[in-house]
């Protein structure tokens, strides 16, 4: 009886810990210390959890052998869930009440909603799941939750480029750039201590229109000799076709905003 109860406990607790900390490599000794079980027993538990998560489309478990090895959770989202989420979000995104004067689209309710951020982050992460960035980077402010969500899935920190220079950042590198949408010259700054030469990063933003902001982050990374492994956004616009950056992934395309006809068309891009 005691043995069965213990397996039940182990399955509950290991499953919770692994899935709550995606991509974090737990050595088996972490669980043997916590649960007082032999590593062979834990390996069996982990096989059961791995099969179960896979069966129910809740992500994958990866076991790395040898010294420095361990077990980690890969937060893949199933195709079925992806389709369902995209359907739901496209319906929400296309509500004509989002259209603002000037043809802008209100999206704060989506980009500050933990539920959508969680789903978007998982899908964006899955595009780059084989990459190994040292950090994720974005520009303040509306992209922060999404970029933070992706950073969490990579088990890496987020770095945020500021749109104005604050004294609370210390020494910064500042660059000027042309905003894609407003065509105005803008300033962007990044604290020198936030990153190190030779690191690798992925740029994440909520919205790519002209691509000016993302391009500016890209240029900023060059200043710091940092490699950009990829670039992802929740939404990109159909127009202009030619953006200031070339290779990026986006989950949705904003096809059309017609203020007069109160028509808003957004399509899936995955």
Tell me which residues touch a second copy (CB under 8 A).
7-9, 11-13, 15-20, 34-35, 48-49, 51-53, 55-56, 58, 100-102, 104-109, 112-114, 117-118, 140-142, 144-145, 148, 151-152, 155-160, 162, 167-170, 191, 193-194
**Closest separation in Å from C-beta 246 to a second copy:** 25
**Closest separation in Å from C-beta 6 to a second copy:** 10
Provide the residue count of the chain: 270
Decide whether 38 or 141 has the Cβ nearer to a second copy: 141
Q: Give the sheet arrangement for strand 263-268, strand by strand.
A: 158-161, 135-139, 200-208, 227-237, 249-258, 263-268
User: What is the C-alpha to C-alpha distance for residues 141 and 152, in angstroms, rounded to an integer?
Assistant: 17
| β-pair type (200-208, 227-237) | parallel
Nearest Cα to 134, choosing from 200, 222, 192, 229?
A: 200
**Closest separation in Å from C-beta 51 to a second copy:** 8
Decide whether 22 or 246 has the Cβ nearer to a second copy: 22
Decide whether 10 or 243 has the Cβ nearer to a second copy: 10
Decide whether 31 or 177 has the Cβ nearer to a second copy: 31
> What's CA 163's distance to the chain center, in Å?
21
**Closest separation in Å from C-beta 265 to a second copy:** 18
CB 57 within 8 A of CB 40: no
């Amino acid at each position: 009886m005691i043995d069965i109860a213990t397996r039940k406990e182990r399955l509950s607790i290991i499953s919770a810990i692994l899935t709550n900390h995606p991509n974090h490599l737990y050595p088996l000794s972490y669980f043997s210390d916590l649960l007082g079980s032999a590593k062979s027993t834990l390996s069996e538990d982990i096989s059961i959890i791995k099969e179960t998560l896979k069966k129910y489309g809740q992500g994958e478990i990866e076991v790395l052998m040898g010294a420095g090895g361990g077990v980690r959770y890969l937060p893949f989202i199933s195709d079925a869930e992806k389709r369902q989420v995209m359907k739901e979000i496209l319906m929400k995104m296309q509500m004509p009440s989002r259209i603002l004067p000037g043809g802008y689209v209100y999206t704060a309710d989506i980009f500050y909603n933990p539920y959508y951020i969680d789903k978007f982050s998982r899908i964006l992460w899955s595009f780059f799941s084989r990459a190994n960035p040292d950090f994720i980077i974005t520009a303040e402010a509306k992209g922060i939750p999404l970029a933070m969500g992706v950073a969490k899935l990579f088990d890496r920190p987020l770095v945020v480029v500021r749109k104005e220079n604050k004294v609370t950042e210390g020494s910064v590198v500042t660059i000027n750039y042309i905003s894609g949408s407003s065509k105005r010259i803008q300033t962007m700054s990044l604290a020198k201590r936030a990153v190190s030469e030779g690191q690798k990063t992925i740029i994440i933003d909520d919205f790519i229109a002209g691509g000016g902001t993302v391009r500016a982050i890209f240029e900023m990374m060059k200043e710091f000799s940092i490699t950009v492994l990829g670039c992802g956004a929740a939404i990109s616009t159909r127009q202009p076709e030619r953006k200031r950056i070339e290779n990026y992934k986006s989950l949705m395309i904003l096809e059309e905003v017609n203020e007069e006809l109160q028509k808003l068309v957004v399509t899936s891009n995955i």
